A = this chain, B = another copy of it.
């Protein structure tokens, strides 16, 4: 029997409760396919800060690296918001991304037919939206040096960061994006600010060069301010979007909100080799933690991505996706996507569907 090891990083806020559900779902889907999944839970984020004084303990990174895939809940909370940079939960997240070398972050934003009303956009604008944002995740202004605080010629305090990309960093994320676009609608829109930033000029030049390897994919370029508008004006114009770390952070969140159901959206972060990192795109939502209100579907769908992209067990991923569809078709909803006439979703119905399959 195939056997895989999964590192679970429950993290903070609603992280532990959604990861617990996704773990059950993973086990159930795996066993139906004769795949054994072994889980090891490790500390990360605020939970790690409280227990071990650092947001990403060495053992956590080592265990993650040694496993076949990682499932992360969410990190962060008010409690640690004023911590110094190296003691922020977010720093743990950035360090595990860098430590695993997962440079390609895939963030789907699709409007499910059952949930089209959840969008704040008019039905005719929202319906049928199916976007994949491919965000560069281990470079750019998030990691560029020099960074820090200084003093300028007037003796004033300054804060600074460096947006920097090398040709190979751009080439590899471009190739991932072209591959993704090829398997989807065949259209790739590269987003940059090449009318102002040198880092974006190189981005545009390299993405354009890599395009020659993918003659079947139609490439276009768009400035980031325009992209932020076009996502609101007509999101259906987009198929696959590729962009840098900071623009991807902003645009993928905007795109996810256009679906109206951010509690539904998974993400996958993958590298050249080594285990991938799978996490819902929502945050730790400390306000509703521990109340069994959180929508577990984003994490469950992240688990499906883990099976598909991380372990290559597509049949088990399909089982999970089918169970999610069935759960929604049967009218079960958490509060974030609840509308009159639907039923309340608790932890049990979800795993029930799976075990009946």
Question: Which of A88, A203, A229, A250 has most B Cβ within 10 Å?
Answer: A250
Which of B122, B202, B253 is A225 in contact with, Cβ under 8 Å? B253
Return the CB mask of A240-253 against B: 1 if under 8 Å, else 0: 00000011011111
Chain B nearest Cβ from A152, distance in angstroms: 5
Chain B nearest Cβ from A287, distance in angstroms: 14
Cβ-defined contact, B225 with A249, below 8 A: yes
Return the CB mask of A40-66 against B: 1 if under 8 Å, else 0: 000000000000000000000000000
The docked-state distance in angstroms from the alpha carbon of A156 to that of B167 is 6
Nearest B residue to A258 by beta-carbon distance? Answer: B232
Q: Is A165 an interface residue (CB 8 A)?
A: yes
The segment from A2-10, A193-201, A210-218, A324-332 that touches chain B is: A193-201
Do A232 and B254 contact each other (CB < 8 Å), given the known contacts A167-B156, A198-B148, A202-B149? yes
Copies in the complex: 2
Q: Is A224 an interface residue (CB 8 A)?
A: yes
The segment from A20-28, A139-147, A304-312 that touches chain B is: A139-147
Do A201 and B159 contact each other (CB < 8 Å), given the known contacts A253-B226, A258-B232? yes
Do A202 and B157 contact each other (CB < 8 Å), given the known contacts A232-B254, A257-B232? yes
Nearest B residue to A165 by beta-carbon distance? Answer: B159
Nearest B residue to A198 by beta-carbon distance? Answer: B159
Question: Which of A202, A226, A246 has most B Cβ within 10 Å?
Answer: A246
Cβ-defined contact, A120 with B234, below 8 A: yes
For chain A, the bracket of interface size reads: 35 or more
Cβ-defined contact, A166 with B158, below 8 A: yes
Cβ-defined contact, A161 with B198, below 8 A: yes
Cβ-defined contact, B224 with A249, below 8 A: yes
Return the CB mask of A243-275 against B: 1 if under 8 Å, else 0: 000110111111011100010000000000000
Which of B162, B163, B257 is A229 in contact with, Cβ under 8 Å? B257
Q: Is A154 an interface residue (CB 8 A)?
A: yes
Chain B nearest Cβ from A66, distance in angstroms: 28
The docked-state distance in angstroms from the alpha carbon of A11 to that of B86 is 48
Cβ-defined contact, B199 with A160, below 8 A: yes
Q: Which residues of the partner chain B approach A193 to less than 8 Å between Cβ atoms?
A: 246, 249
Q: Is A125 an interface residue (CB 8 A)?
A: yes
Q: Which residues of the partner chain B approach A144 to less than 8 Å between Cβ atoms?
A: 160
Cβ-defined contact, B197 with A161, below 8 A: yes
Q: Which residues of the partner chain B approach A147 to less than 8 Å between Cβ atoms?
A: 197-198
A-B contact pairs, 19 of them (CB 8 A): A76-B195, A94-B196, A120-B234, A121-B232, A144-B160, A147-B198, A148-B198, A158-B167, A159-B165, A159-B201, A160-B162, A161-B163, A161-B197, A162-B162, A225-B249, A225-B252, A229-B254, A232-B258, A254-B254
Query: Residues of A with Cβ closer than 8 Å to B?
Result: 76, 81, 85, 88, 90, 94, 120-122, 125, 141-142, 144, 147-149, 152, 154, 156-168, 193, 195-203, 224-226, 228-234, 246-247, 249-254, 256-258, 262
Beyond A121-B122, A149-B202, A225-B250, 17 extra complex contacts between A and B, CB < 8 Å: A76-B195, A120-B232, A141-B197, A147-B197, A156-B168, A159-B164, A159-B197, A159-B199, A159-B202, A159-B203, A161-B164, A162-B163, A224-B250, A228-B251, A228-B254, A230-B257, A232-B232
